[in-house]
Chain A
Amino acid sequence: MNAMVEEIFATEEKDILQEVMNIAFGQASADLAEVIDIFVVLSVPNIQVIQGRDLPKYLLEEIHSSGLVNIIEQGFLGKFSGQALLIFPCGAEKVLLNLFNQGAEAVGGCDIDVDTLELETLMEVGNILIGACIGKIAELLQDIVTYDPPRLIAQDFSLEHPKCCPIDENSFAISIRTVFRFEQEDVEGYLFLITNQRSIEWLKKALYAFLESFE
């Protein structure tokens, strides 16, 4: 956790937040394995607080990929609200299509070109991954969240590009980052949950409520 985390969260709040995320992402792995029948490994979530204007730079540093990426964005709305950004290196969509090849037997589709198929599969898989993680956080914190449809906001995109994810420069974001890996395949993706100031007040209360539920 970085210095800004200390400013916003008391030590205890920070510790509870970390454990809630540990549990949420752990349970999400288990759910994902069951839904998609693939062994998924999610790394220990890393929590940071970042100034809006520093977010592009931060993403570039966190994703040790000099190559091009695809970015999927999905809004989530509850007491805990924000945007989920799912970042895959280019080429991952090909591997994912093979992993989830059932998508190919869609009812209406046979005249779909491979590029569309790959990117749409990427979005459907993205929705599953994002939903699993956020759903668990919401469940643990007694919130109910709804989602916008996932959108591909950047395709074959270079993170070196200065304006890569438009969030308000002056607001700050809690970034919860996890790296997930599909065991059989060498695909890695990054998930960032960017939430806003408004969610933080609620989050603090929910964290204490979570802890108190064990009394």
Chain B
Amino acid sequence: MVKSILIVDDSPVARMIMKKCLPESLGITIIEAKNGQEGVEKYQQHQPDLTFMDLTMPVMDGFTALSLIKAINPQAVVVVATADIQEKVLQRVEDLGALLTLKKPPSKQALADALKRAKEALAQVRS
């Protein structure tokens, strides 16, 4: 079960779109952070089930935030959301331990798939 989601993105519109695309199910708590540093802090504080991570952000970018979150919790389930899906970017986030990469702008279907993958990953961690 995914009960809490942390959305890290500097763009308020990107966070809004992400929320709009999430399936409406009661009981999911959404936490927002507007840069990588805030994201890491909020991760530590709330330990969300799933984190959506933007890459290009001021203060601290998504690559750094991702690796810091993975350092806090190697089992953290992080989905990277980016428009720039160059081979090299995909490779780098995979190496840093992201579960998968979501192409921006996300579609409802793509988000539903990502959630499904996240649930599977969480189930594995918990079992």
Contact = CB atoms under 8 A, between A and B. Distances in A.
A22 B12 CA distance: 12
A24 B87 CA distance: 17
Interface in A4-23: 15-16, 18-19, 22-23
Nearest to A136: B83
B86 interface: yes
A39 B11 contact: no
Interface residues on A, range: 20 to 34
Contact of B13 (A16, A27, A44, A140): A16
Interface residues of B, number: 20
A74 B79 CA distance: 38
Contacts of A42: 84
B46 interface: no
- Per DSSP, are chain A's interface residues mostly helix, strand or loop, or mixed? helix
A19 B83 CA distance: 10
Contacts of B105: 23, 140, 214
B117 interface: no
A103 interface: no
A26 B82 contact: yes
B84 A29 contact: yes
A180 to B, nearest CB: 12
6 tightest A-B CB contacts, nearest first: A26-B83, A19-B13, A26-B84, A33-B86, A23-B83, A19-B11
Interface of B: 11-14, 16-17, 20-21, 56, 82-89, 103-105
25 contacts: A15-B11, A15-B12, A15-B13, A18-B11, A19-B17, A22-B11, A22-B14, A22-B56, A22-B83, A23-B83, A23-B104, A27-B103, A27-B104, A29-B84, A30-B89, A33-B86, A33-B88, A34-B86, A42-B84, A44-B56, A211-B16, A211-B17, A214-B17, A214-B20, A215-B20
Interface of A: 15-16, 18-19, 22-27, 29-30, 33-34, 39-40, 42, 44, 140, 183, 211, 214-215
